[in-house]
Amino acid sequence: MNTQGFRFHGAALRALPSGALHWPDEALLVVSDLHLGKAARLSARGGAALPPYETRETLLRLEADLSATAARRVICLGDSFDAPGLDAVLPAADREAIARLQAGRDWTWIAGNHDPAPVTLGGTQAAEAWLGPLVFRHIATDDARGEVSGHYHPKARLRLRGRLLSRACFLLDDRRLILPAYGAYTGGLRTDDRTLCALMAEDARAILTGPSPAMIPMPRG
Amino acid sequence: MTTLPNPIRDWFDRRGWEMHPHQREMLARAGAPCQLLIAPTGGGKTLAGFLPTLAELAEDPAPGLHTLYISPLKALAADIRRNLMTPIEETGLPIRVEDRTGDTPSSRKKRQRADPPHILLTTPESLALLTSYEDAPRIFAGLQRIVVDEIHALAESKRGDQLMLALARLSALRPGLRRVGLSATVEDPAAIARLLARHPDPCEIVEADPGPAPDIAMLDTEASPPWSGGGAAYSIPAVLEEVRRHRTTLIFHNTRAQAEIFFHNLWLANEEALPIGIHHGSLDRGQREKVEAAMVRGELRAIVCTGSLDLGIDWGDVDLVIQIGAPKNVKRLVQRIGRANHRYNAPSKARLVPANRFEVVECVAALEAVRAHDLDGEPRGPGPRDVLCQHILIAACAGPFDADTLFAEMTTAGAYAGLDRGAFDSCLDFCATGGYALRAYDQWQRLKQRPDGLWQLRDPRSAPRIRQNIGTIQDTDTLKVRWRGRGGAPLGEIEEGFAASLTQGDTFLIGGQIVRYEGLRELTVEVSRDAARKPKIATFNGTKFATSTQLSQRILRMFRQENWPELPQHTADWLALQREVSRLPRPDRLLIESFPHDGREQLVVYGFAGRNAQQTLGLLLTKRMEEEGLAPMGFVSTDYATLIWGLDAVTDPRPLFDLARLEAGLETWLAGNAVMKRTFRASATIAGLIERQVGGQRKSGRQATMSSDILYDTLLKYDPDHLLMRITHEEAMRGLVDFDRIREMCARVGDRVDLLRLSRVTPLAAPLFLEPGRVPIAGRADERLLEEEVTRLLDESGLAQIEA
């Protein structure tokens, strides 16, 4: 697996092709915005029944990353479920798959705006988590320092010899690190969006996901 | 009825009119369950359709809906209403006529449902919507006749299938309902008759006198057409001269972008300031209406237009049609020619203007075909099942339904007569549960079967969402364009993809004006005036016509000639030059050219297999090239060739053209492809899996809708036999794949494949570089380009040093 290594507040981190963050020294894997059960939420409101496979797809990706990194700790940075209560109605096979991933691992569900209520599955629930110099929460705060968050689903768009290419990406500056969405059915917010431009420092960088994660200056349109 | 009631006969007499023979025949046989009238433009076709209605209402003007008139265009419905009002007012008959389209105010729509007029003029989409209301049986209670205008245009698309399913519903409500179709000249009237009639009712076909042969020719121009390009700017002086010499000229273009550029250039040269307008589907409705009104008042000398004026709005005094760009299809050309001169028994006058030299050849071939009355057309397959899914949902909106009854009803639509019960049931299952192999979330299925066996919506909130999604027309995502500033006037719309490529200060053409991109505000593109003379060109998604097989064959036959006396000298010289620097394609060999251009390696395959098959060839060849490590980046196809660009040159084409390998891999190759995704997106939208984004909903779009590509990938991986995947496959095979013609091409050329390595673009290849509809290939080239870009960015920004 190609990864992009970088240092953030003293921690040696690796961005994985899938959009997960690996911290080898702590045997930690961080993923954000899984949005499990998204198909269900959209169907529930009178829309079409969408293919109910996104949870399986997301969990398979997570399983692959966990076995590749041999991580013992997992932090899900919020919006793990697309709506409160969805964890309880996931197909049995998906619930079992989550339980298998959790077995023998220290697992933390950070609350997100989509899933503020505690979940019915195993693992710890928290509004934020601290580990060494880093703090993990769902949404970036104004006075961040060593903050790892998600929420925005950042994606970068590049023009390559007349072709537009869009990739989910990490965003990184001296104070904060924002993870891309990990879930299978999730869209993205372009890095040239006003909100992201205001949030990130002038010299912010983006790490593109995909087969060969790479760090570039944050595209600002 | 063989004679007209007195008030109408008197009206005819006062005008000194006589009924045309076909009008008389339609009236005499008005009791038939189904009639199809084939008549040229100006033949009193619409009146022929309405005379029986007027006659019946003159005898018995009881309140209630008597006749539904369906037109493919909103504007046509409004126009017909104006035209119908003349005889109605002048005869003093108490007949109420109203139109109902997407533009009708909702207060009037509500009133129409409570108190319908005698004659309601509407579109297939608005009719489908009407049938989705619970009070549909009451609205249509008195309905006697349905008149489908321009049925030849509807018959070519899913709009026709949708309409016929709606008619099936109406016939179920009103068993004695009579159907009438009005059609322009077509190659196979019986096929349209089968589509129109309630299966298995017969349909009577009435063919009107086609009138005198049209006066058509190439437009004489001083300058020669360029090697390539679609602008036809060279013809501007000659076109202006024709406009000067005629009362009103329609100047047809094949795409909106070409119409914009031509219009712009026309005005730069229009020193006398002749009143010339522009009309196409991307323009703001208000602007289009202004142009239409000016046209009706006879204030415009010419209109630059696209297919938006293909259909029968009565423009009054049009006495010349100019077609810019190759007509692509003989039947459509004949129909466009008919736009000139609405007087029956006067020849229509049309001139063709090829935009480049290849199109000269195609235009000459098309002229020969018109003179030979050799119309082209492809038979349509069985009714598409995505439309069927939509109609099941529409039926559910109208109220609880019985599956057996609905199945019986739908099979009375001609295109669905052969539908088997299993196929229907899988559509019903899809609408109800999603039809996935994994049964999850059954508590939220869309349709539920009640204890009494009837099906109904689980959640009443579904109904408005389903209604909002009615229709089969695929819009690309577009953004509105407005002048900057508070309350800036709307100009029209552009594709989202085009808008995304703009940066502040870029200029483009819209509505004939050059505007400057200022920014995006709440999903509206804001522009300001710009004095530049040369704009960055708007890539509107104009309709792309495919050149018919028959025209392609005519062209290949022309290429075999020793010389070309029927072609203008410049074009004959050009073909001779191609023969000199490369070769001319032959029916019995496959010509492939390879050359570098634009920093990429180019490969041109002259298959002459028609646009769809060339497109498939592009798909298959790029896949093979990817396998061979040749890093293809994308391709574009025309009716005669496919151009593939990539990072490496092809030196040996034989491994690429192994038909057995092409065919064996077809399924897997297609699966991951952009064309399949595009087909999936269309079918998934029609079938109701993906919701159209409408107006204000756009803001929350990111949350409410899902990328169709992601849904496709998920189904491909976890549920490849899902109904929508099967429909996508079927649709692609029918429309986009056309593998039969690749097979035919391979059989025709055998192993006679000629690869010519050349140093530069060849004469015949040049036009390909300006073709829209480029299909990108996601593969190794992406990663290689990304690597280049990352390296460049790192070097430029100095990050390379920092991170090392």
Residue B138 has pLDDT above 60, yes or no: yes
Are B198 and B161 in the same domain?
yes
pLDDT value for A139: 96
Contact B93, B58 (CB under 8 A): yes
**Cβ(B118)–Cβ(B61) under 8 Å?**
yes
pLDDT of residue B701: 36
Fold observed for domain A4-217:
Purple Acid Phosphatase; chain A, domain 2 (3.60.21)
Hunting for tokens 């079409």 — which residue is that?
A48
Taking the C-alpha atoms of residue B658 and residue B590, their distance in angstroms, rounded to an integer, is 13
| Cα B726 to Cα B430: distance, rounded to the nearest angstrom | 12
Convert the pLDDT of each residue in B445-495 to its tens digit: 999 999 999 999 999 889 999 998 898 877 556 678 888 876 778 888 777
What pLDDT is recorded for position B312? Answer: 56
Integer angstrom CA distances of residue B43 from B23, B80, B343: 9, 15, 8
Residue B684: pLDDT over 90: yes
The tokens of B748 are what? 């025709």
Instruction: Indicate the length of chain A as a whole number.
Output: 221
Q: Give the Cβ contact number of residue B69 at 10 Å.
A: 26
Q: Is there a contact between A5 and B803 (Cβ–Cβ < 8 Å)?
A: no
Based on the fold, state whether residues B71 and B194 are members of the same structural domain.
yes
* SS3 label, residue B623: helix
Q: Which amino acid is at B733?
A: M
* Better-scored residue on pLDDT, B228 or B751: B751
Q: Taking a C-beta distance cutoff of 8 angstroms, is the pair B298, B227 a contact?
A: no
CA B260-B299-B512 angle, 5° bins: 15
Within this chain, do residues B657 and B594 fall inside the same structural domain, yes or no? yes
What is the maximum span of chain B, computed from C-alpha positions, in angstroms? 96
pLDDT of residue A19: 96
- Whole-number pLDDT of residue B543: 42
Which residue, chain included where needed, has tokens 């961005």? A15
What pLDDT, on a 0 to 100 scale, did the predictor assign at position B704? 39
> What's the rounded Cα separation, in Å, for the pair B151 and B696?
33
Say yes or no for a CB contact (<8 Å) between B786 and A160.
yes
Residues of chain A neighbouring B434 (CB-CB closer than 8 A): 43, 48-52
Token pair listed for B305: 């237009």
CA dihedral B419, B421, B425, B428 (to 10 degrees): 50
**What count of other Cβ atoms lies within 10 Å of the Cβ of residue A34?**
30
H or E stretch at B784: helix B780-797
Q: Determine, yes or no, domain membership for B260.
A: yes
- Which of the two residues, A114 and B402, has the higher pLDDT score? B402
Q: Residue B785: its chain A contacts at CB < 8 A?
A: 160-161, 163, 165
Tell me, what's the pLDDT at B187? 81
Q: Do residues A5 and A12 make contact, with C-beta atoms less than 8 angstroms apart?
A: yes
User: What percent of chain A clears pLDDT 90, i.e. is strictly above it?
Assistant: 72
pLDDT confidence of residue B542: 43
B799: which residues sit within 8 A by CB, 6+ positions away?
A205, A215, A216, A217, B793
- Which one-letter amino acid corresponds to residue B318? V
Task: Using a pLDDT cut of 90, give the percent of chain B over it.
Answer: 41
Q: What is the CATH number of the domain that holds B90?
A: 3.40.50.300
Give pLDDT tens digits for B303-331: 998 877 776 555 567 889 999 988 878 88
Min Cα separation B258/chain A (Å): 21
Q: Is B714 in Cβ contact with A184 (below 8 Å)?
A: yes
Q: In this predicted structure, what is the pLDDT of residue B697?
A: 42
Q: Does B428 contact A at CB distance below 8 Å? A: no
Residues B425 and B455: their CA atoms lie apart, in Å, by 12
The token pair at A164 is 């537009």
Q: Does the pLDDT value for residue B35 go beyond 50?
A: yes
The H or E element that residue B601 is part of is strand B600-606
Residue B434 CA to residue B689 CA, distance in Å, equals 8
CB atoms within 10 A of CB B598: 11
Report the range out of B286-290, B415-419, B570-574, B711-715 with the highest average pLDDT. B415-419
Strand partners, B8: none
Q: Band the pLDDT of B283: cuts 50, 70, 90.
A: confident
Which residue on chain B is closest to A153 by alpha carbon? B702
> Above pLDDT 70, what percent of chain B?
88
Q: Is there a contact between B438 and A216 if contact means CB atoms under 8 Å apart?
A: no
pLDDT of residue A132: 94
Write out the E strands in A112-221.
124-126, 128-131, 134-137, 147-149, 154-160, 163-172, 176-178, 189-190, 205-208, 214-217
Q: Using the predicted structure, report yes or no on whether residue B73 has a pLDDT greater than 90.
A: no
3-class state of residue A216 by DSSP: strand
A162 to A165, B328, B637: CA distances (angstroms): 10, 29, 18
With bands split at pLDDT 50, 70 and 90, how would you rate the model's confidence at B698? very low
Q: Across the interface, which of A39, A54, A163 has its CB nearest the CB of B776?
A: A163
CA angle B325, B327, B330 (to 5 degrees): 170
Examine the domain organization and report whether B191 and B60 are in the same domain.
yes
Query: Which letter, b or e, does each residue of B234-265 get, where b requires 16 or more Cβ atoms within 10 Å of its Cβ?
Result: bbbebbbebbeebebbbbbbbbbbbbbbbbbb
Chain B within 8 Å of A96 (Cβ-Cβ)? no
Phi/psi of residue B34, each to 5°? -155, 130
List, in order, residues 6 or more apart from A177 with CB less than 8 Å away. Answer: A8, A13, A21, A147, A148, A149, A170, A171
Q: Which pLDDT does position B696 carry in this prediction? A: 40
Shared-domain flag, residues B116 and B263: no
User: Is B434 in Cβ contact with A48 (below 8 Å)?
Assistant: yes
pLDDT of residue B699: 37
Does B181 score more than 50 pLDDT? yes
Query: Who has greater pLDDT, B624 or B106?
Result: B106
Q: Which among A44, A52, A184 has CB closest to B436?
A: A52
Can you give the pLDDT at residue B311?
A: 67
**Facing B789 at nearest CB: one of A6, A91, A160:** A160
Residues in chain A closer than 8 A to B461 (CB atoms): 45-46
Helix (H, G, I), strand (E, B) or coil at B102: coil
Distance of CA B138 to the CA centre of its chain: 34
Q: Which ranges in chain A belong to alpha helices (H)?
A: 38-44, 54-69, 86-89, 92-102, 194-199
Is the Cβ of B441 closer than 8 Å to some Cβ of chain A?
A: yes
Rounded CA-CA distance A114/B703 in Å is 11
> How does pLDDT run across B328-368, given as a tens digit for each residue?
788 888 888 877 766 666 788 999 999 887 888 999 999 98
Give the CA dihedral B473, B474, B478, B480, nearest 10 degrees: 0
The set of residues, in sequence order, having a beta carbon less than 8 Å from that of B293 and lying 6+ positions away, is none
In 3D space, the residue among B665, B670, B661, B658 whose CA is nearest the CA of residue B746 turns out to be B658
Report whether A74 contacts A108 (CB < 8 A).
yes
Pick B185 or B244 by higher pLDDT.
B244
Yes or no: say if B227 and B234 are a contact pair by the CB < 8 Å rule: no
Q: Cite the DSSP H helix spans in B246-338.
A: 256-269, 285-296, 330-337
pLDDT at position B205, please?
96
Integer CA distances (angstroms), B558 to B16, B328, B614, in order:
50, 16, 20
Q: Which residue has the higher pLDDT, B451 or B795?
A: B451
**In this structure, are residues A102 and A56 in contact, taking their beta carbons and an 8 Å threshold?**
no
Give B770's contacts in chain A (Cβ within 8 Å). Answer: none
Is position B731 within any domain? no
Gap between the Cα atoms of B605 and B656, Å rounded: 12
| Chain B residues touching residue A3 (CB < 8 angstroms) | none
- Tell me what pLDDT residue B610 has: 80
pLDDT computed for residue A79 by the predictor? 94
Residue B23 has pLDDT above 90, yes or no: yes
Q: Please, are residues B357 and B570 in contact by the beta-carbon 8 Å criterion? A: yes
- Cα–Cα distance between A146 and A9 in angstroms, integer? 6
Q: Which two tokens stand for residue B147?
A: 């008149």
Quick one: pLDDT at residue B665? 66
Domain boundaries, given as residue ranges, for chain A: 4-217
SS3 B276: strand
The tally of domains found in chain B comes to 4
Q: How far apart are CA B18 and CA B206, in angstroms?
A: 18
How confident is the prediction for chain B on average, in pLDDT?
A: 85
pLDDT of the residue at B654? 79
pLDDT tens digit sequence for B420-439: 999 999 999 999 999 999 88
Tokens of B46: 């619409």
| C-alpha span between A43 and B441 (Å, rounded) | 8
B804: pLDDT strictly greater than 60: no
Any B CB within 8 A of A205 CB: yes
**Residues of chain A contacting residue B500, judged by C-beta atoms under 8 Å apart:** 157, 164
pLDDT band at B735 (very low <50, low <70, confident <90, very high): low
Q: What is the span of the domain harbouring residue B143?
A: 6-207
- DSSP letter string over B400-453? -B-HHHHHHHHTTBGGGTT--HHHHHHHHHHHHH---SS---GGG-SEEE-TTS
Helix (H) or strand (E) holding B53: helix B45-59
**Tokens representing residue B645 in the block:** 């660009």
Please give, rounded to a whole number of angstroms, the shortest distance from the CA of A100 to a CA of chain B.
20
Question: What is the three-class DSSP state of B38?
Answer: strand
Q: Which of A47, A91, A160 sits opposite B465 (nearest CB)?
A: A47
Rounded to 5 degrees, φ, ψ at A26 are -105, 5
Q: d(Cα B160, Cα A124) in Å, to the nearest integer?
A: 58
Whether residue B119 contacts residue B53, with contact meaning beta carbons closer than 8 Å, is answered with: yes
Q: Which two tokens stand for residue A185?
A: 């059915």
Chain A residues inside the 8 Å CB shell of B438 = 52-53, 91
Interchain CB distance below 8 Å, B446 and A48: yes
Report yes or no: B725 and B716 within 8 Å, Cβ to Cβ.
Answer: yes
CA atoms of B719 and B145, how far apart (whole Å): 45
Backbone angles phi, psi at B429, to 5 degrees: -65, -40
Q: Using CA atoms, how far apart are residues B762 and B760, in angstroms rounded to an integer?
A: 6
Q: What is the CA radius of gyration of chain A?
A: 17
The mean pLDDT value for B40-58 works out to 87
pLDDT band of B130, cuts 50, 70, 90: very high
